[in-house]
Amino acid sequence: MSKKVCMFVWNHFTNDARVLRSCSALSESGYDVSLVAIHDWKNEVLPKREQHKSGFRIIRVNNRSTTLNKVLRGFRQLKKRKIELLVLFLLILNILASLRVITTLLQAALSLSVIAICALAVFIMTKTKLPAMLVRAHIFTQMVREGRKQKFDYYHSNDLNTLMQGVLSAKLFRRRKLIYDSHEVQTSRTGYNSKVYGVMEKFLLGFVDEMIAENHTRAKYNEELYGIYPNVVHNYPIPQKPEQSSSVNLHDMLGLPREEPILLYQGGIQTGRGLEKIIEAVPLMKRGTVVFIGDGRIKPLLEKMVHERNLGDRVKFIPKVPVDELLHYTKNAYLGFQVLNNVCFNHYSASSNKLFEYMMSGVPVVACSFPEIQKVVEQENTGVCVNSHEPASIAEGVNYLLEHPEARDDMSSNCLEARHNYNWLKEKEIFIEIYETA
């Protein structure tokens, strides 16, 4: 009988390449895999349950509570109609006072108390993070419920935001194996409370049987922090040969001449990735059109920057595309950007999936000079490393590849050669061995 695996991920699982590879690898190796993800109520075509073509099942829990939505709607209405409701309330109290049902003093006390309570409740439910926290608690509870429905042999938590679900499912009145796959450096990330996350991670690691990190720089960091050197499974893509496909022509899609170099960034449009620096560098680039493929929080900011600098003819935006189609877009590029900024150790220590996606597509990179990225780029001669905090340095790297097409072509050939080593086939064996020996 196949051993059962319950895997948790805190997203909709529509574009998570690493989790897809993990689930597929386990399924192909004979494991019975259930992935618990989050449903998106705004996406009507996204199924709550489905069988993936790679053989594993996906269970998406609700990210919307009908009861909570009704309560929030009521408070929003109360906020909009507070004057009318207050007048009505005072009118009722006056009537009761005139009928001697209540005293004037009690009337005043009731008025002040109810007004204060209503004001506080409206503020809490419309101006604080409590509603969002309640939604997260709703999602968390459903995930644990799904994790305990069956007698799974293994539980696999992707990142810290699903580790507690794994602990409760695997260890509460049970003795099942728990694997913690940390895709990020949880104690040094932008937008996260490092101290709180550090205390939480240190405590929960006491229940973990095996931990996985993305590279040896991060593994060493974990050893220094917690005394644990995790297993290392690199974030390499599945082997493909996108250069043999003609399914996507970015030049035609964007109305660009065939000879126009496409200078590509693909991935999340988020802070700390040097994307603002790329736009600032565009006027210094001797030619080429910068293309962003992806979506994210700062996309409106980038679009505003492009508009204010009158760069609309040199910078284009494309929404994110399905992960299994992405490399067909990537192969159209003259070069790719991976210019993370050193805003936290999570960025500084990244290997980054997109670095290897560019490699898989034969696209040289303009990359940041951070240890894991620089090591690959310089060792394999697949691009140039720059100071990713300086637009002038980014532009210098771009102009070098534009002005030296022969060197660029050599780097492209090196990418196609190096992809035989930097791919998921080798990492898959390491990943499956973790399960076999856990």
Q: Is residue 8 part of a domain?
A: yes
Separation CA 395–CA 134 (nearest Å): 46
Write the pLDDT tens digit of every residue in 352-368.
Answer: 889 999 999 999 999 99
Number of domains in the chain: 3
pLDDT value at residue 111: 56
Q: Is residue 205 part of a domain?
A: yes
Structural domain of 254: 242-422
Q: Residues 264, 385: one domain? A: yes
Q: Residues 126, 163: one domain? A: no
Q: Is residue 138 part of a domain?
A: yes
Contact 331, 243 (CB under 8 A): yes
Q: Is residue 153 part of a domain?
A: yes
Count of C-beta atoms within a 10 Å radius of residue 402: 17
Q: Residues 60, 138: one domain? A: yes
Question: Does position 119 have pLDDT exceeding 70, yes or no?
Answer: no
Question: Does position 300 have pLDDT exceeding 60, yes or no?
Answer: yes
What tokens appear for 113 in the block?
């108390």
Q: Residues 273, 142: one domain? A: no
Q: Residues 110, 183: one domain? A: no
Q: What is the CATH number of the domain that holds 247?
A: 3.40.50.2000
Calculate what percentage of the chain has a pLDDT beyond 90: 72
Sign, CA torsion 122/123/124/125: positive
Write the pLDDT tens digit of every residue in 61-81.
Answer: 998 877 767 766 765 665 565
324 or 268, greater pLDDT: 268
DSSP 344-409: SHHHHT---HHHHHHHHTT--EEEE--HHHHHHHHHHT-EEEE-TT-HHHHHHHHHHHHH-HHHHH
pLDDT value at residue 381: 98
Q: Residues 29, 178: one domain? A: yes
Q: Is residue 433 part of a domain?
A: no
pLDDT value at residue 90: 61
Separation CA 172–CA 145 (nearest Å): 12
Q: Residues 13, 86: one domain? A: no
Question: Does position 83 have pLDDT exceeding 80, yes or no?
Answer: no
Write the pLDDT tens digit of every residue in 305-342.
Answer: 999 999 999 999 999 998 888 999 999 999 999 999 99
Q: Residues 147, 28: one domain? A: yes
Q: Is residue 15 part of a domain?
A: yes
Count of C-beta atoms within a 10 Å radius of residue 86: 15
Q: Residues 253, 357: one domain? A: yes
What tokens appear for 387 in the block?
């100071």
Q: Is residue 427 part of a domain?
A: no
Domain boundary among 232, 265, 296: 232
Q: Is residue 434 part of a domain?
A: no
Write the pLDDT tens digit of every residue in 382-422.
Answer: 999 999 999 999 999 999 999 999 999 999 999 999 999 99
Going by C-beta distance under 8 Å and a sequence separation of 6 or more, which residues neighbour residue 369?
A: 385, 386, 387, 388
What tokens appear for 167 in the block?
């602990």
pLDDT value at residue 244: 84
Q: Residues 116, 139: one domain? A: no
Contact 305, 299 (CB under 8 A): no
Q: Residues 390, 413: one domain? A: yes
Best CA proximity match to 353, nearest among 271, 242, 234, 189: 234
Sign, CA torsion 339/263/414/238: positive
Write the pLDDT tens digit of every residue in 10-48.
Answer: 999 988 889 999 999 999 999 999 999 999 988 989 999
Q: Residues 58, 164: one domain? A: yes
Count of C-beta atoms within a 10 Å radius of residue 366: 30
Question: Does position 114 have pLDDT exceeding 70, yes or no?
Answer: no
Report phi then psi at 429, rounded to 5. Answer: -65, -40
